[in-house]
Amino acid sequence: MKFGKSLRNEIAKALSAWENEFISYKELKKQLNLIAQQAAGERIGFITLLDSELEKVNKFFIEKEEEYIIRGKELKERVANLESIGDRTQVKLDILEFHREMVLLLQYSVLNFAGLLKIVKKHNKKTGISISLAFMPMVLQQPFFITDLICKLLKECEVMLNQLFL
């Protein structure tokens, strides 16, 4: 199965609300095909689109991280101030949903990285000009690729759930 179709299938399954936040692999591929057919000036258009897609992915990822930090703090407060069994059950469900959303954000990160890697490899193959050495090390330093904070929040969720199930 082609990566673009695979990406669309993954999005449709679990991340449909985020569909427009992924890299536009199809648009990047179209721009890449223009490079192969026309002059080198189209290469600048591809690089510009690639940079803007990277910026879009980072912006979305950072917004979600900030949202999750706030939600994590709110959930900790709710756990600390539990009053009844009903509250306890609802907090467990809310923590599980929060955990699920963060796992989806990790999948978002992986899918976008894979898409960027594939489109850069396609560029190298079609044009004979390697942009991997310049582009990929920069990608590895982007916020969407550095998932330490999300992993920390996931562990905090697991600690809260352990407290509630004891």
Domain ranges of the chain: 57-165
CA proximity to 100, closest of 13, 7, 4, 31? 13
CA proximity to 124, closest of 71, 47, 60? 47
CA proximity to 54, closest of 134, 123, 115, 126? 115
Determine contact, residues 124/132, Cβ cutoff 8 Å. yes
Contacts of 103 (CB under 8 A, 6+ apart): 154
Q: Please report the pLDDT score of residue 130 as a whole number.
A: 87
- In whole angstroms, how large is the CA radius of gyration of the chain? 20
CA–CA distance, 39 with 25 (Å, rounded to integer): 22
pTM for the full model? 0.83
Per-residue pLDDT of the chain (166 residues; tens, 9 = 90+): 576 666 556 655 666 788 888 888 889 988 888 876 665 556 778 889 999 999 999 999 999 999 999 999 999 999 988 877 778 889 999 999 999 999 999 999 999 999 999 999 998 888 888 888 889 999 999 999 999 999 999 999 999 999 888 7
